[in-house]
Structure 1
Amino acid sequence: MTNVLPAASPSPARTGLVVGKFWPPHRGHQLLLETAAAQVSELLVLVYANPDDPRHAAPARAHWLRELYRGDDYALGPRSGATPLRIEALPAAAVPPDAADDTTHREFVRQWLARQGERIDVVFSSETYGPGFAEHLGVTHIAVDNQRQQVPTSGTRLRAALAEEAESFGESALHIHPFIAGQYGVVPPATVPRLVLLGAESSGKTTLSIALAEALGTAWVPEFGRTLHEQKNGKLVYEDLLYIGRRQLELEDEAAAQAHGWLVCDTNAATTALYSYYYFHRCDPALQRLAEVCRQRYAHTFVCMPTTPFEDDGWRGPEALRQFQHGAILMQLEMLGIPYTLLDGSVEERVAKVRAVLG
C-alpha cells in the first residue's frame, strides 16, 4: 500500500468526502483515501469518535494522516497534479455519541458542512452506511472494498488487538503502516531481522553499512535524513524531522524485499529525534514514539566510535562536535533501555565484530 496520493481526475472539478474514526488508521483507510483521491479534485476527511481514544485523540490521528500524505518528494515541493487532501479533526464533545442512530450522525455531518460552507459532490466509504449517508447529503456514493477483500481488517478488529499487550498484537500489525504502528508502541513483524548502525557525524556509518551489506550478501538502507538535508541545501525545517523518521521506515520496508538474512540500516528514529532537539530544541511526540520502539524494531544496535579520520564534506558540523554527539547517542540509548555494541578500529575490524555478535 502506497502513501503517495495519486493525481486527481482532470475534470470535472469536484470535492469528495470521507468520514471515519480512523482509530487506528490502517491500510484499509489508506486504500479508501487513495482510491477517493484519484477521482476528485479535492478530498475532505473528517476524523472523530465519541467516546474517543483516551491515548491518541482525533487531533493526533489526523496529524498522523497528514504526515502519511505529506508527499515523498516534499523536499522538491508539492507534487504536480496531486489531489489536495484536507483532514479535519472534530473533538469528541462536539460530535454525537457513536451509539446514536444513523439519522443523527448524517444530520450532524450535513449541518457541519453547511456551517463550514463546504460543498460536497461525492461520498466515499467502505461501510454499509455509505449509500444512506450520501443520500442524506444529496450526493453520489462510491463504495471502496466493502467486503474487505483487498485489506482484510477493520478498525474494530484492530482496536481489540491493540487492547492486548503489544507482544500479542502479532500479524494484525501488518495491516498498519509502520509509522502508525509505532504510535501504539507496536512493530510489525519483519521479513528479515534488522541491525542498525548509529554514530556521530563522520564516524564511518555509511562506509560500514556498505561493507557489511557486501560481507553479509544483503541490502542496506541509506540515511534518508542526509539525503533530504542535501536536497534542501541544508535548510531543514522542524516538520522535516518527523518526515525523515517516517520515510526512513518506508525505505527499510522497501529494502527488506531485497535483503537476505539481515537488513543493514544506517541510523534510526532515535537519532532523528536527537537531531530534532539539537536543531529545534523540541521533538514531535509522534517522532518520540518512533524512537521509543527502536528496541523492538532492531535485533541489534551498533554504535560506531568517532575514531575514524574526520571528513569535512561541507555538510557536517565541526570535528569537536563528534564527541558530544557520540555521548548524546549513548545517553539516549541507555535511557531508552536499548542494548548496544561499540565498534572501533578499521572497517574490516568493525565488520568482524558485527559478524561475531550476529553469530
Structure 2
Amino acid sequence: MLKKVVIIGPESTGKSTLCSQLATHFNSQWCPEYARQYLLENGKEYSFEDLLGIAKGQLELEDTYSRDLKAHRLEKPTPLFIDTDMYVMKVWCEFVFGKCHPFILEQIVERKYDLYLLCNTDLPWVEDELREYPDLESRQRLFHMYKDILVNQSTPWVEIGGRSEERLATAIAAVQEYVLA
C-alpha cells in the first residue's frame, strides 16, 4: 500500500536532504523536484506559462515514482517521499506572478496525500545557481504562506525545524505516527 508524504517549504530549508534521509531510513524512494531539472536545462529565467509546464512535469515525475513503487506489490504501507507538490506550485505562481494556473488548483483538489512535512526557515541559507530569495524576510513570508495553506486543509501536517538530527527525528516520528501506524 503506497503512502505519499510531501515535503514542502521555502527554498534552502532542507527539503531534498530530508527526502533522501527519509527514503534511506524507511528503505523506500523519494521523488525529486522537477523544477530543479527544468531550470538547469532551460535557464533560470521563467515565465508564468513555464510554471504550468513545470507543474505538469512534477506530476508526471510523481506518477512515475508512484507506479514504480506500486509495481513491487507492496504488502505493508510504504511511504514515497515527494519533494514538492502543487501547493508549492501555487505559492510560487502567486508569489512571483500574483496569480495561479487553474490546472494547478484543480490538481490540488484531485490529488490526495497522507502527510505533509513543512520545513521551517531556521537553517542557514545555502546559495546555489537556482535559488532566488536569500533574504530571511522573503523566506519567512513564503513559510507563512505554506503554513496558512496547511492549516486550512485536512491532511495531517507537521512542522520540521531545528538542527539536522532534530529535523530528521521529528520527520521520522511523524511518518510513523501518521503514515505507518
Relative to the length of structure 2, the TM-score reads 0.84
Instruction: Name the residue aligned to 2:157.
Output: 340
Instruction: Name the residue aligned to 2:106.
Output: 289
1:209 aligns with 2:24: no
Structure 2 CA distance for aligned equivalents of residues 347 and 257 of structure 1: 30
Which residue, 304, 308, 313 being the options, matches 2:123?
Answer: 308
Structure 1 stretches lacking a partner, 5+ long = 1-190
Deviations 1:285-342 (A, max 9, x none): 1111112345xx2100010111111111132222322111101111122234443100
Instruction: Name the residue aligned to 2:90.
Output: 273
Instruction: Name the residue aligned to 1:256.
Output: 66
8 Å contact 1:194–1:298 — kept in the other structure? yes
Deviations 1:72-106 (A, max 9, x none): xxxxxxxxxxxxxxxxxxxxxxxxxxxxxxxxxxx
Structure 1 CA distance for aligned equivalents of residues 24 and 68 of structure 2: 13
1:318 aligns with 2:128: no
Structure 2 CA distance for aligned equivalents of residues 220 and 299 of structure 1: 15
Equivalences, count? 167
Instruction: Name the residue aligned to 2:169.
Output: 352
Q: How does 1:148-163 map to 2 (within 5 A)?
A: none
Structure 2 CA distance for aligned equivalents of residues 345 and 223 of structure 1: 23
Structure 1 CA distance for aligned equivalents of residues 151 and 121 of structure 2: 18
Structure 2 CA distance for aligned equivalents of residues 228 and 333 of structure 1: 26
8 Å contact 2:114–2:155 — kept in the other structure? no
1:195 aligns with 2:44: no
Instruction: Specify the SS of the correspondent of 1:234.
Output: coil
Instruction: Name the residue aligned to 2:179.
Output: none
TM-aligned CA deviation for residue 202 of structure 1: 0.5
Instruction: Specify the SS of the correspondent of 2:2.
Output: coil
Instruction: Name the residue aligned to 1:233.
Output: 43
Q: Cα RMSD (Å) of the superposition?
A: 1.8
8 Å contact 2:8–2:116 — kept in the other structure? yes
Structure 1 CA distance for aligned equivalents of residues 85 and 59 of structure 2: 8
Structure 2 CA distance for aligned equivalents of residues 240 and 348 of structure 1: 36
Q: How does 1:237-248 map to 2 (within 5 A)?
A: 237-248=47-58
Deviations 1:222-252 (A, max 9, x none): 1112221222211212122222222212211
8 Å contact 2:115–2:155 — kept in the other structure? no
Larger radius of gyration: 1
Structure 2 stretches lacking a partner, 5+ long = 177-181
Q: Which stretch shows the higher mean deviation, 244-253 or 331-340?
A: 331-340
Q: Which has more helix, going by share of residues?
A: 2
8 Å contact 2:5–2:113 — kept in the other structure? yes
Which residue, 144, 154, 160 being the options, matches 1:327?
Answer: 144
Structure 2 CA distance for aligned equivalents of residues 262 and 344 of structure 1: 21
Structure 2 CA distance for aligned equivalents of residues 305 and 327 of structure 1: 9
1:265/1:354 CA distance change after superposition, 3 Å: same
8 Å contact 2:113–2:155 — kept in the other structure? no
8 Å contact 2:32–2:83 — kept in the other structure? yes
